[in-house]
Chain A
């Protein structure tokens, strides 16, 4: 069974299952018993106003932030309780693109991509170079980027290089934190197409935090909206009918309408 086969054939397969997540800083609660399911092969967008804890939720799911209550299962394994061995097994199966790319600044782009390969596999340097160059071409970066240092790259190139590193181990699940923030509209649109293409050809499951309504329209299957410490999940069409004032404003405000009705 192939990647696409997995996508269609096992639609009910839940990759991320979060139940009753509570997060907060001090006395301030930002997530009040949130449930979230992400199905295999789907692209889910995570949106919400500033300070609603989108990134916190993402960080909780990938185990960088411990939730106060609730359980998160990724590929059926509890993230919070995972011991280091099973956490490593999980980490091999997902890739994360941080907001600014989070490339290791002391290493070239090629070396950055090879970090996970070196950590988890024993392959020859030649093969690693080949794979790094292949990943770069997959994310649409020119060949000479391999030898450059992150400080020599533009914002958009850093994100692409970060994506190449996230894809290094051929993960099944990809987390993207604001992949198009800070990009010009053309680069952002290209990035959307890139994510969608990669998702299709690699059969990825994607969870992305974004503000960009164009990105949501172009790439996501379903959207999770964080409002009032709770979460609402649906397709764009479903969410546009939602009575919540923030969601209404988000999808039906000037920018939302311009993006969705075009």
Chain B
């Protein structure tokens, strides 16, 4: 007695049905068992109740087309039957698909890998913390190495690579003039406008000049320039050195006997340490010009009056307090840029990730150091 307990044609293009008689299952498949059909077949095949099947017959005589995705579904079903304790006593598919199914059955043995589990929250926090600690530790070691090698270049055995150094000064300094100039000018304009607006209420418009002079020369000039350069040159250092790492150029240098710190890092660090103070000075000048222009149009303060007021407002120290920070910031930006570049792994994603990190880290360090300087100067009473 044959009873059709379960007939499920799945679409017209690919279908299967199961016929069950006591403990014997007949599994009939047909149509095009191909990749486009696989997403539809998959859940229905998974939902099949294969329990208590003792013997099974798989009949694929009506298959029109079978590709490796379809063959996998067939193989998976066959294995599910076998794992459930059934004996597959006949397995028929068109002869031409024999090699494909045979290859698959022979080569594929291991079960598919389970999904990677999400790590517990605390574990991830801990790992992140340890990672930043290691990062800081490595950075400190790197700082030490660069310092030692820098000191060595002052000695007689070693010399700075002048050509590379000049190139870096041009690249990071001279080529940055337009953007630094424009942004500084605009900051001067904005500051003068906001300042005059507030100070006018007290009838103290003329103090706008003092506000401009002190804030720009002490803080904003150097800070603005450093942040622009961190975005412009720090990122370029990481990307350049990182790409060299991806291409194994760094490895090639080391095998030739070139010192990577010597060749890549020192010219960049030295170049930026020289370029950034000049850029800062330029930025100060441009911002003051921006402020003066705004004062002239908004407050009718003429240029001679502006300069006279400025002379009274600031001392040489105000200017020097800003300038003295520039080489320190430059050193940090170049150091972080090169350090992250050398940490790039041999894949494209790592270049992007570390370039981002290099910029974020150097901007962060610049602002933290600036705060440190402020505290130091207030203690020293400058």
Residues of B within 8 A of A203 (CB): 96
Identify which of A1, A124, A144, A151 contacts B39 (C-beta below 8 A). A124
Q: How far is the CB of B294 from chain A (nearest CB, A)?
A: 48
Closest B residue to A103 by beta carbon equals B347
**Binary CB contact string for chain B from 85 to 117 against chain A (1 if under 8 A, 0 otherwise):** 000000000111101101110011110110110
Residues in B49-100 with C-beta less than 8 Å from chain A: 64, 66-69, 72, 76, 94-97, 99-100
Is residue B197 within 8 Å, beta carbon to beta carbon, of the partner chain? no
Chain B residues lying within 8 Å of A134, measured Cβ to Cβ, are 68, 72, 104, 108
- In the complex, which range does the number of interface residues on chain A fall in? 35 or more
Whether B66 and A2, one on each chain, are in contact in the complex, defined by CB atoms closer than 8 angstroms, is yes
Cβ of B349 under 8 Å from chain A? yes
Q: A129 at the A/B interface (Cβ < 8 Å)?
A: yes
Contact A127-B96, Cβ < 8 Å, known A106-B347, A134-B108, A149-B347: no
Report yes or no: A201 in contact with B100, Cβ–Cβ below 8 A: yes
B103 engages A106 (CB within 8 Å): no
* In the complex, B196 has a CB within 8 A of chain A: no
Chain B residue numbers with a CB within 8 Å of A126 are 112
The answer to whether the Cβ of B22 comes within 8 Å of any Cβ in the partner chain is: no
- A66 CB within 8 Å of chain B: no
The reply to whether A143 and B39 form a contact with Cβ atoms under 8 Å apart is no
A170 cross-chain contacts in B, Cβ below 8 A = 34-35, 67-69
The residue in chain B whose Cβ has the minimal distance to the Cβ of A169 is: B35
Our pick among A5, A127, A147, A169 for the contact of B113 (Cβ within 8 Å) is A147
In the bound complex, do residue B68 and residue A138 qualify as a contact, i.e. CB atoms below 8 Å apart? Answer: yes
Residue of B nearest to A124 (CB): B42
Q: Say yes or no: A123-B39 contact (C-beta < 8 A), given A106-B348, A197-B103, A200-B99.
A: yes
Q: List A residues 60-84 near B (Cβ within 8 Å).
A: none
Q: Chain B contacts of A228 at CB under 8 A?
A: none
Residue on B nearest A125 in the bound complex, by CB: B115
- Residue of B36, B38, B115, B346 most packed against chain A (CB within 10 A): B38
When chains A and B are docked, how far (Å) is the Cα of A42 from the Cα of B12?
32
The contact string, 1 if C-beta is below 8 Å from chain A, for chain B 178-203, is: 00000000000000000000000000
Q: Is B345 an interface residue (CB 8 A)?
A: yes
Q: Which B residues are CB-close (under 8 A) to A140?
A: 107
Q: Which residues of B contact A131 (CB under 8 A)?
A: 38, 68-69, 72
Q: Which of A3, A5, A110, A117 contacts B100 (CB 8 A)?
A: A3
Which residues of chain A are within 8 angstroms of B99 by Cβ–Cβ distance? Answer: 3-4, 200-201
Which of B35, B43, B345 counts the most chain A CB atoms within 10 A?
B35
Q: Which of A1, A110, A138 has the most CB of B within 10 A?
A: A138
Say yes or no for A121: interface residue by CB 8 A criterion. Answer: yes
0/1 per residue, B20-50, Cβ < 8 Å to A? 0000000000000011101100110000000
Q: Does A133 contact B (CB under 8 A)?
A: yes
A1-22 interface mask toward B, CB cutoff 8 Å, 1 = contact, 0 = none? 1111100000000000000000
A135: CB under 8 A from chain B?
yes
Given contacts A123-B38, A137-B108, contact A151 B346 (CB under 8 A): yes
In the complex, number of A-B residue pairs with CB atoms less than 8 Å apart = 99
Chain A positions 32-86 with a Cβ under 8 Å from a chain B Cβ: none
Least distance between A7 CB and chain B CB atoms (Å): 9
How far, in angstroms, from A2 to B95 measured CA to CA in the complex?
8
A164 to chain B, nearest CB (A): 11
Point out the residue from B35, B36, B43 that lies within 8 Å of A124, measured CB to CB: B43
Taking CB atoms and an 8 Å cut-off, the chain A residues in 107-158 that contact chain B are 110, 117, 121-127, 129-131, 133-135, 137-138, 140, 143-144, 146-147, 149-151
Cα(A96)–Cα(B72), bound, Å: 22
Closest to B353 in A: A106
Residues of B within 8 A of A130 (CB): 72, 76, 112
Among B68, B107, B108, B348, point to the contact of A167 (Cβ < 8 A): B68
Q: What are the residues of chain B within 8 A of A213 when measuring CB–CB?
A: none
Cβ of A190 < 8 Å from any Cβ of B?
Answer: no
Contact partner, B96, options A4, A121, A124, Cβ 8 Å: A4
Which residue of B35, B42, B107, B347 is within 8 Å of A137 (Cβ)? B107
B67 surroundings in chain A (CB, below 8 A): 170, 202
Question: What distance in Å separates the Cβ of B179 from its nearest Cβ neighbour in chain A?
Answer: 31
Partner of A138, one of B39, B108, B115: B108
List the B side residues contacting A197 at CB < 8 Å. 103
- Which parts of B3-23 form the interface with A (CB within 8 Å)? none
23 A-B residue pairs with Cβ-Cβ distance under 8 Å, sorted by A, are: A1-B64, A2-B66, A2-B94, A3-B97, A4-B96, A105-B348, A110-B113, A121-B36, A124-B42, A127-B42, A130-B76, A130-B112, A131-B72, A133-B112, A137-B110, A138-B68, A147-B116, A151-B345, A170-B68, A197-B103, A202-B67, A202-B100, A203-B96
Q: What would 14 more interface pairs be, CB under 8 Å, given A133-B112, A134-B104, A201-B99?
A: A117-B35, A121-B39, A123-B39, A127-B39, A127-B42, A130-B76, A134-B68, A134-B108, A137-B110, A143-B113, A144-B113, A170-B67, A170-B69, A202-B100
Q: Which 5 A-B pairs have the closest CB atoms?
A: A2-B96, A105-B347, A106-B349, A201-B99, A170-B67
Residues of A within 8 A of B (CB): 1-5, 105-106, 110, 117, 121-127, 129-131, 133-135, 137-138, 140, 143-144, 146-147, 149-151, 167, 169-170, 197-198, 200-203
